Structure 1
Amino acid sequence: MNQQNADDTTNQAGFIEGHALLIAVAAYPRVRALPSAVINDARDMKAVLTSSMHCGYDSSNVILLQDDDATLDRIRQELATLADRTKATDTAVIFFSGHGVRMGDSANPESALVPMDCEPANLSTTVLHEAEFSAALARIKAKRLVVFIDACHAGAAGTFKGRDGLPDLGFSEKSLDRLAQGSGRVLIASSRGSETSLIFNGAANSLFTEHLLGALRGGARTNGDGFIRIFEVFNHVAEKVRAAAPGRQHPIFKASDLEDNFPFALDRGGAKSIESSLIATRNETWRQFEEILADLYPAGPLDQEIWARAGGDISRLRLSGTGRASWFAALRTIRQGGGGHDITRKSLIQTALQDFPHHQELAQLLPNG
């Protein structure tokens, strides 16, 4: 079966190979409680993932743990169950909304997810450490694995009740980097390690999850083929969150070995846009450009100073992960009008052609005029 036929089959039957584990903890008994929006986040994620009008997941493949259900043992159990039931051809999504905590060496802290039954007096044995979480992720056979972490909320900026001198709340970016290690694994966090993940007064959801839900309900700019892909979701969420909280919250994308902008849900139930051909062609051109650059300059925009030579300002880019991930971020910046005053897609192609003058695929991408 070719890829197009496989996609059509998935559209007709729903996103039958999608699996999800959604975890939310707000009413911590021994840790400062979080707003009820945290529970709404996970419930609304389940609703949109299992909606036939949206993501198309089979409801039997989506597990929700909230408050009393989200104990350390139960989280471990459901992570193991997710690993047992997913195949290599499947897609797995893990969503956590609640407290995160940083422990150990302040220069290189280890982060952990805080379950419902966390004991502040015995912290090290009652949280899900990043090493254990990463090992659980490695056991999941699905070749497309997406982890969303919304683990530091503005409403939770205090300390644990009845305990002084505990580590900082939240997840460190070094921890996120370590969790993102692995082929096909993507980690999207609600904010940088130095920021809080905002919940505005009266809001039904956290700011991050509000716009994640918006992307999954059809708000992301897709290519109109009936699928929503991981880069499209992150683009939408990052732009919306930054616009809603200028300078205060920046979602981050982590991936160490990602070769494809893979689909992980249906787009509006698999509906195809009337303008899908034009949109798909335009997006495919950018994807082709990204693949060429990642092949020619595998270390990313710093490789052979290609970005600077094309008129760009490397300080305007936020680079991390593999060269491919860095090129994705850099080209997204160009499409948004950034990256330096003098850099454009055309100048980047022209500069690359100086290094590889006989690269016909690259030459064909050169815009007219």
Structure 2
Amino acid sequence: MKNKTVYSLLAILIGLMIIASGVAVATVNNAPNANAALSAEEYWAVIVGCGDDIPAYRDAESMYNVLTVASDNWNASNIRFLINETATKANIRDAIQWMANKASAEDTCLFYFSGHGNSIIDYSDDEADGLDESLTAFDDNIIDDELEAWMGEVKAEKVVAILEACHSGGVLTPFQICEVKELYALDGFAKDPEKAHWLVLTGCRMNEKGAYACNLKNGAFTYYIVQGLWGAADQDEDGSISVRELCDYSFPKIVEYREDTQHPLLWPDDNSADNFTLIQLKASIPKKIKVPVDYRTIQKAVEAAMPGDVIEVSPGTYTEDVVINKPLTISVPYGNSIIHAANSSFPCILVTVDNTKISGLTCQKGSHGIELWRSCNNMIANNTVKNNDNNGIILKKSNNNRIINNDISNNDNYNGIALDSSNNNEIRNNSANNNHYDGIVLLASDENIIANNTTKNNGNGGISIGLSYSNRITDNVASNNANGSGIALADSNDNNIHNNIANYNHLHGIALWTSDENIIANNTAKNNRDKGIYLESSNNNRITGNDASNNEDYHGIALSQSNDNEICNNIANYNRYCGIGLWTSDENIIANNTASKNDAGIYLESSDSNRIYLNNFIANTVSVKSFSSANAWNSPSEITYTYNGSTYSSYLGNYWDDYKGSDADGNGIGDTPYRLSSVDDNYPLILHARNYFGDLIYLYPSPTPTPGQKTWHSVNTFTGTERRTTPSFAITGDEWRVKWLVKISSTFSLFYVHVYREGQTSELVDEWSWDEEYSHRDTRYIHAGNGSYYFKVLAMDIDEWELEVEDHY
């Protein structure tokens, strides 16, 4: 054990020497706290950043900053910090010697290096591959043999080297690589069994190169190491981070970021890394940091902040690129605060960590305005994002975020909002107008809610969805877009597109290409240049309750090579050519639509086995045009209906305003067929279909669902005004949904719903909340199968809430 009295006297003497001479023990902020008691275990570090063409000094600064700000166990006076000109070979050697002299057996030591690494000729002839790995100091190379000898002088039981350099996997490890890429075990850094807690964590393998990540402003490896040390790597949430946790956190992020060309290496990869605590996180109460009062730039405030802090940005223009690697709130209390990108190749704000809130900022002239990279549970609200080179707001592999009430406009080359491989996000109440390409884009992104947004006057389309599934696109305005469609789906299935306005677009109102099992319901698709609603090579979709009228050059609703779809309860009036048109499309159901004042009410070409009934064809130039097509023009079975006060059962056809036949028996069905070019309508209606069913929206009767159609069954309904745990209910099938309603009149309302599966231990399977100041109705789809479930509802100042459960099988 140490003689604490001797070490306390040494600390006082060192402090007096510093006061007298003004010379600090370490290069940056290394003055010790003379009042701090030395614990039995101390932590010592040598941090080096050196590179003439890479800003390795930023890596060193980031490492120094996280150790001294975030931790309880690292003291600035116990760190030697060398960057660029001070990082000479001799100074690095002396710093390691200083650490070796200071540290005792029970202490923990860290050697961190960021810079260039090389493989050079082995002149000592002790390498099987004929190469020595080296680290590049400011003035010379440090051969791995030399560094191993220097580090071998350290007497501490726990020593870790963290290396950010090309070929670093061959430094201080017992591995090397020969021409045939075979691994050889040598003596290495920890050949002595007494040094079983000596670890090496490197940014890459010995045959790989590391990378400086310009957008992250760090080496990619260091960036995620530092982010992990700020707390993101604390997997067991015990307030400390082990070398194992740090490796497990950084490894998948580096592999993905570098597209499988760089792989961090931990040696030895055994349980010693589990028990090696590198940082003890400091407990802190969130504080408020003001820019520019406390720090001149937002980035400096971010670097100084602890996780959970609030950064308030005063009005002004800040020319910088902000990278956020810890959970923070950045807000603007008043006025206009502008982030003008310092480098247009970088986003104005890059978020790579979870649980961050950004509000009230204007972001302009970056590659993107705001970018979320593998970042979850963030809130991006009330920002203005404009005039950026690419996208306004982009989410990459980022889930469960809320993008609310932002103005995203005039972004130069791409889109307003873009989601790339990002799921379960809520994009609501944004204006994404006047962007170069699309207003909102989803690519390979599932189960998102896109609601109440405006996407107008974009250079291509309004909302575009590709390779994406189970999204809800509702209550948006996607109009006046210059070259594309209001809403477009490509290779996207099981989406729900409802209550949108898609008018005055250059191409179509709503378009589907090779997209199946979608619901297109209650939309307005009018006055578009081409078609109102268009399906191409798309099957098993349900098109219902839409108004596809006044489309200038072509059709209201058109299907091309699309089969087994339902086209029901739509209006398709005043279109230039046909109200409803089918080309090479078979086995569709066309029911209860109204097509009036078109060139043709309905057009069919090379389309067979479609079921067409209860439609109203009124005042068209020609009611029907049919070429090389054989279809059924009446219901598939008898239907019970009421006509002139009497009830009947019969097959039913369509209403044709140019039908000349009679109805002698008064049952509302013509006595003679309506003549068509191939198969006739044998049950023509005498009057408009509403005269047979009142205002009821009639869906075709069918003993079994159409392929791809989901038939929903009511399970239970729960209501309340306050907190409640509901009785359990049984679900059949692989998916169910909750149609939920919350009525609000207070500005301080809260509404949370947790869904649990019953078992020996209850399992939380889903959750959602509503904290806006207005009432809302929505549907939540839950992908959890057969079982028993219950809700826990937290409600505060709610007038009424309702949860209606439905399943399908």
Q: Same fold (TM over 0.5)?
A: yes
- Which residue among 39, 43, 62 is the counterpart of 1:44? 62
Instruction: Please say if residues 180 and 256 of structure 1, whose CA atoms lie closer than 8 Å, have aligned partners that are also in contact.
Output: no
Q: How far 1:181 moved relative to its partner?
A: 3.8
Higher strand proportion (structure 1 or 2)? 2
Give the match's secondary structure for 2:231.
helix
Amino acid at match of 1:18: Y
Measured in 2, the distance between the counterparts of 1:212 and 1:129 equals 25
Count of aligned pairs between the two proteins = 227
Deviation digits for residues 261-293 of structure 1, max 9, x if unmatched? 22433343158xxxxxxxxxxxxxxxxxxxxxx
Report the RMSD for the aligned CA atoms in angstroms: 2.6
Residue 142 of structure 1, aligned match among 137, 148, 156:
156
Which whole-Å CA distance do the structure 1 matches of 2:107 and 2:72 have between them?
15
Instruction: State the match for 1:179 in structure 2.
Output: 189
Does the CA contact (< 8 Å) of 1:102 and 1:172 recur in 2?
A: no
For 2:137, the equivalent position in structure 1 comes to 115
Whichever residue aligns with residue 75 of structure 2, its letter is: D
Aligned to 1:210: 223
Residue in structure 1 matched with residue 202 of structure 2 by the alignment: 189
Q: Distance in 1 between matches of 2:78 and 2:253?
A: 29
| Superposition deviation, residue 54 in structure 1 | 3.4
Secondary structure of the corresponding residue to residue 78 of structure 1 = helix
Go from structure 1 to structure 2 and tell me whether the alpha carbon gap of 1:232 and 1:255 turns closer, same or farther (over 3 Å shift): same
State the distance in 2 between where 1:48 and 1:24 align. Answer: 15
Who is 2:47 aligned against? 22
Say which SS state the counterpart of residue 209 (structure 1) adopts: helix
Quote the Cα distance in structure 2 between the aligned partners of 1:240 and 1:15.
Answer: 36
CA shift in 2, pair 1:172/1:187, >3 Å: closer
Whole-Å Cα distance in 1 between the matches of residues 222 and 99 of structure 2? 22
Q: In the alignment, which of 17, 41, 58 is matched to residue 75 of structure 2?
A: 58
Question: What amino acid does structure 1 have at the position aligned with 2:248?
Answer: N
Change (3 A) 1:56 1:193: same
Structure 2 CA distance for aligned equivalents of residues 69 and 199 of structure 1:
21
Report the AA paired with residue 159 of structure 2: L
**8 Å CA contact retained: 1:92, 1:146:** yes
Higher helix share: 1
Equivalent-residue separation in structure 2 for 1:74 and 1:189 (angstroms): 22
Deviation at 1:211, TM superposition (A): 0.2
Select 1:75's aligned residue among 92, 100, 114: 92
2:257 and 2:54 map into 1 onto residues whose CA distance is: 19
Q: Report how far residue 175 of structure 1 moved.
A: 5.8
Instruction: Tell me the SS of whatever aligns to 1:87.
Output: coil
* Separation (CA, whole Å) in 2 of partners of 1:252 and 1:186: 10
CA drift at 1:174: 7.5
The 1-side partners of 2:228 and 2:210 are apart by: 18
Render the CA deviation track for 1:68-94: whole Å, top value 9, x for unaligned: 111111111111111000011110010
What is the correspondence of 1:1-369 to structure 2 with a 5 Å cutoff? 17-27=42-52, 34-36=53-55, 38-51=56-69, 53-54=70-71, 56-105=73-122, 107-118=129-140, 127-152=141-166, 170-171=167-168, 173=170, 176-177=173-174, 178-182=188-192, 183=195, 184-255=197-268, 259=272, 261-269=274-282
SS at match of 1:269: coil
Taking structure 1 as the reference length, the TM-score comes to: 0.56
Q: Measure, in 1, the Cα distance between the counterparts of 2:66 and 2:255.
A: 23
Cα deviation 1:159-216 (Å, max 9, x = unaligned):
xxxxxxxxxxx34638632235442110011011222211223331111000000110
Query: 1:228 is paired with a residue of what secondary structure?
Result: strand
Q: Return the letter of the residue paired with 1:43.
A: E
Pairwise CA distance, 1:108: 3.9
In 2: Cα distance, 1:150 partner to 1:264 partner: 20
Q: Percent same amino acid at aligned positions?
A: 23
User: Would the aligned equivalents of 1:25 and 1:97 in 2 still touch at CA under 8 Å?
Assistant: yes
CA distance in 1, matches of 2:242, 2:50: 28
Matches of 2:99 and 2:172, distance apart in 1: 22
Q: Which amino acid aligns with 2:134?
A: A
- Give the letter for the 1:226 counterpart: G
What amino acid sits opposite 2:44 in the alignment? H
What is the match of residue 637 of structure 2? none
- d(CA) in 2 for partners of 1:175 and 1:20? 17
1:180–1:104 CA distance, 2 compared to 1 (3 A):
farther
Distance 1:174 1:24, change over 3 A: closer
Letter matched to residue 97 of structure 2: A
TM-score under structure 2 length normalisation: 0.27
Alpha carbons of 1:174 and 1:64: their partners in 2 closer, same or farther (altered >3 Å)?
Answer: closer
Task: Output the amino acid matched with 2:150.
Answer: A
SS in 2 for 1:111: strand
Q: How far does residue 258 in structure 1 lie from its aligned partner after superposition?
A: 6.4
* Residue pair 2:243, 2:278 contacting (<8 A) in 1 also: no
Structure 2 distance, partners of 1:47, 1:190, is 19
Deviations 1:15-49 (A, max 9, x none): 9611110011122xxxxxx322x110001100111
Distance change >3 Å, CA 137–CA 174, structure 1 → 2? closer
The Cα shift of 1:133 comes to 1.1
Structure 1 stretches lacking a partner, 5+ long: 1-11, 28-33, 119-126, 153-169, 272-369
Q: Using the alignment, how far apart are the partners of 1:100 and 1:15 within structure 2?
A: 36
Q: Secondary structure of the residue that 2:111 maps to in structure 1?
A: strand
Which amino acid in the other structure matches residue 35 of structure 1? I
Q: 2: distance between equivalents of 1:14 and 1:233? A: 25
Distance of 1:112 and 1:102 partners within structure 2: 6
- Separation in 2 of the partners of 1:260 and 1:94? 16
Distance in 1 of aligned mates of 2:101 and 2:256: 40
- Is the partner of 1:95 in helix, strand or coil? strand
- State the one-letter code of the partner of 2:54: P
Partner SS for 1:176: coil
* Residue type of the alignment partner of 1:76: R
Separation in 2 of the partners of 1:98 and 1:266?
A: 23
Tell me the secondary structure at the aligned position of residue 173 of structure 2.
Answer: helix
Quickly say closer, same or farther: Cα 1:235–1:181, change in 2 above 3 A. farther
Structure of greater Rg? 2
Q: 1:260 to 1:191 in 2, by over 3 A?
A: closer
Question: What's the CA shift string for 1:300-355, capped at 9, x where partnerless?
Answer: xxxxxxxxxxxxxxxxxxxxxxxxxxxxxxxxxxxxxxxxxxxxxxxxxxxxxxxx
